[in-house]
Chain A
């Protein structure tokens, strides 16, 4: 869905200021990483990663410990890579980190808010530390807090906020200096389903309407599918795949027929009629039958078979690749079970979060 560059959106939303908005790094990709390696004494967090990311909403997926946070910290200039080259908005973060961070917003995965100040005070202060003059910092703070949906609450101390409100403040502080690139590390951490949907909608609007490039790190595939245009999958510090989201979810040549009961007899009947039954009946709870979509239409045969057997039909659906397949197929070493699309994140036992739930 990225309609060209951020500039393309900006023409619509910002009129004549396009040229300034895409500076620095005109024309260059948002992120370029070449042979990037980060080794710690005991682990290799990133292993010769090479990537080029265009503007848009990029999903960065991988299991916990795959190297997502390490990559984000290198892009911010907070970690120095062991080897390899990196450029963000055309700037080398290892050399010009402070300059670059004026143009980049970062939302950490953990709660990083002090309880005894108001959202307004905190965000305005942080805006100045991103280089904004005091007056502009105050103006932008009230704009951005309104944008993330904080109104009267913003004058109250953060200590009394719900998890959802805190996450909004964390997003606001990342947006307050109008960055060209937003790095979001697990932005829906700790949110309930409604809060998660609102946060994702907010992220999507920020990326698509305001022309801010976003890199969204998540281990929740459902989230990535919901908002991202482009996907980068990493595992054990290596690039698994990098492609537009659509390529990950293309239709497969498999048709699923689900019945409430009698799956095995249906499978037998369909095989009799000459269809190639891939699986069905015997496996699982015996309700879904998978059929290969060869030449010709099997739909009439299926309809007749279901009718003859008098089975209660639930659905006939052409199966799509899901992101889970990617990890299941490509990496036997990392079980797909570590990904839970659409489910709330499981907090690791050592997590420092104080999740109120």
Chain B
């Protein structure tokens, strides 16, 4: 026991009480900060920085190659991806990010029973779950959008015909934002739904990796064996393939041009699968938080 209680008086508070919306916004803001390790120790920032930095680096390499090629008179070489091909090479980073940060976001509050302190305040259990989902989705969105912005910026700077380049970028915006938002929400919701039932960080991270990666490996083998028929539908269990489908659908990609999409299942169906997984995971997350003991 240290210190003792001194009579320093007590001041009341007569200022505004901003209610539930303010509380939810504050929790979302706080969660978004902790998703990137802000307000935590230096070590907590390493992984978020890698997950933002490496995709950005990949985008910069694309920009550099294209700039060198056009200076060498090679023109617009099709091998270097544009906005439509930016997602597949960086797809591993959102998975790495949610596998590490979803348990961080939910596990502490469960393990140390901090939920009791949250639920006795001006928000509801559902609000808590949705604030965490919003924060993690925004985190993934930043990872996905930074490379796209660099790609667009590079194209605009490198061009001779500025107005044509600006028009082209503007035309790509809906597909870039649409696909990135859906991919972000689906990844975040799936990871949080898993983390919400596995308060121990290590198990949660391992489970998220398992759910995101193992069906993909199985699907690749099945597709590789070219069994045809019903077997190809196993792809619908692979979140990675579904998210590739979202990207393909948003940019109107010809499935035969991307190895990730050559299972023979239409991108519309893959996209619908992704939306169903995202919705289902969100419902599961909320359901869990309505029942969790606090």
Residue pair A116, B40 in contact (C-beta under 8 Å): yes
* A131 contacts partner chain B, Cβ-Cβ < 8 Å: yes
Residue pair B12, A129 in contact (C-beta under 8 Å): no
Residue pair A113, B124 in contact (C-beta under 8 Å): no
* B26 contacts partner chain A, Cβ-Cβ < 8 Å: yes
Given A110-B113, A177-B17, residue A194 in contact with residue B118 (CB < 8 A): no
Cα distance A242–B115 in the bound complex, in angstroms: 32
* A32 contacts partner chain B, Cβ-Cβ < 8 Å: no
Residue pair B8, A98 in contact (C-beta under 8 Å): no
A residues lining the B interface (CB < 8 Å):
10, 13-14, 17, 20-21, 76, 78, 97-99, 101-104, 106, 108, 110-116, 121, 125-126, 128-134, 136, 140, 143, 146-151, 153, 162, 164-165, 173, 177-178, 192, 194-195, 198, 201-202, 205-206, 209-210, 352
Residue pair A133, B2 in contact (C-beta under 8 Å): no
Residue pair B119, A78 in contact (C-beta under 8 Å): yes
Q: Which of B106-151 contact A (CB under 8 A)?
A: 108-109, 112-124
**A149 partner, pick from B3, B12, B15, B118, beta carbons under 8 A:** B3
B residues lining the A interface (CB < 8 Å):
1-6, 8, 10-20, 22-23, 26-27, 30, 39-40, 108-109, 112-124, 294
- Secondary structure at the B interface, as helix, strand, loop or mixed, is loop
Cα distance A150–B8 in the bound complex, in angstroms: 12
Residue pair B1, A194 in contact (C-beta under 8 Å): yes
**Chain A hits for B17, CB < 8 A:** 102-103, 130-132, 177
**Chain A hits for B14, CB < 8 A:** 17, 20-21
Q: List 30 A-B contacts (CB under 8 A).
A: A13-B10, A78-B120, A98-B124, A102-B122, A103-B17, A104-B120, A106-B116, A106-B117, A111-B113, A114-B114, A125-B30, A128-B23, A128-B26, A129-B121, A131-B16, A131-B17, A131-B19, A131-B23, A132-B15, A132-B17, A132-B18, A133-B16, A140-B13, A149-B5, A149-B6, A178-B13, A194-B1, A198-B5, A202-B5, A210-B12
Given A101-B122, A128-B26, A131-B19, residue A178 in contact with residue B113 (CB < 8 A): no
Cα distance A275–B120 in the bound complex, in angstroms: 59
Given A102-B17, A129-B26, A133-B16, residue A112 in contact with residue B114 (CB < 8 A): yes
Q: How many inter-chain contacts with C-beta < 8 Å in the A-B complex?
A: 135
Cα distance A236–B105 in the bound complex, in angstroms: 39
Cα distance A302–B16 in the bound complex, in angstroms: 67
A156 CB to nearest B CB, Å: 12
**Chain A hits for B3, CB < 8 A:** 149-151, 153
Central interface residue in B15, B114, B115, B117, by most chain A CB within 10 Å: B117
Cα distance A130–B27 in the bound complex, in angstroms: 11
Residue pair A130, B122 in contact (C-beta under 8 Å): yes
A167 CB to nearest B CB, Å: 10
**Chain B hits for A149, CB < 8 A:** 3-6
A151 to chain B: closest residue by CB: B3
User: What 3 A-B pairs have minimum CB-CB distances, sorted nearest first?
Assistant: A178-B13, A128-B26, A131-B17
A124 CB to nearest B CB, Å: 10
Cα distance A139–B283 in the bound complex, in angstroms: 38
B226 CB to nearest A CB, Å: 51
B109 to chain A: closest residue by CB: A114
Residue pair B10, A131 in contact (C-beta under 8 Å): no
Residue pair A99, B11 in contact (C-beta under 8 Å): no
Central interface residue in B22, B114, B120, B123, by most chain A CB within 10 Å: B120
A150 to chain B: closest residue by CB: B3
A130 to chain B: closest residue by CB: B121
Cα distance A116–B104 in the bound complex, in angstroms: 12
Central interface residue in A103, A106, A112, A201, by most chain B CB within 10 Å: A112
A121 to chain B: closest residue by CB: B39
Cα distance A58–B74 in the bound complex, in angstroms: 84
**Chain B hits for A194, CB < 8 A:** 1
Residue pair B15, A133 in contact (C-beta under 8 Å): yes
Cα distance A142–B89 in the bound complex, in angstroms: 48
Cα distance A108–B112 in the bound complex, in angstroms: 13
Residue pair B16, A129 in contact (C-beta under 8 Å): no
**Chain A hits for B23, CB < 8 A:** 98, 128-131
A180 CB to nearest B CB, Å: 10
Residue pair B1, A164 in contact (C-beta under 8 Å): yes
Residue pair A14, B5 in contact (C-beta under 8 Å): no
Cα distance A209–B117 in the bound complex, in angstroms: 25
Residue pair B122, A129 in contact (C-beta under 8 Å): yes
Cα distance A132–B116 in the bound complex, in angstroms: 19
**Chain B hits for A210, CB < 8 A:** 10, 12
Residue pair B2, A162 in contact (C-beta under 8 Å): yes
**Chain B hits for A21, CB < 8 A:** 12, 14
Cα distance A21–B17 in the bound complex, in angstroms: 13
**Chain A hits for B121, CB < 8 A:** 101, 126, 129-130
**A98 partner, pick from B2, B13, B30, B123, beta carbons under 8 A:** B123
A6 CB to nearest B CB, Å: 10
Cα distance A115–B294 in the bound complex, in angstroms: 18
**Chain A hits for B1, CB < 8 A:** 162, 164, 192, 194-195, 198
Cα distance A147–B13 in the bound complex, in angstroms: 14
Cα distance A287–B4 in the bound complex, in angstroms: 41
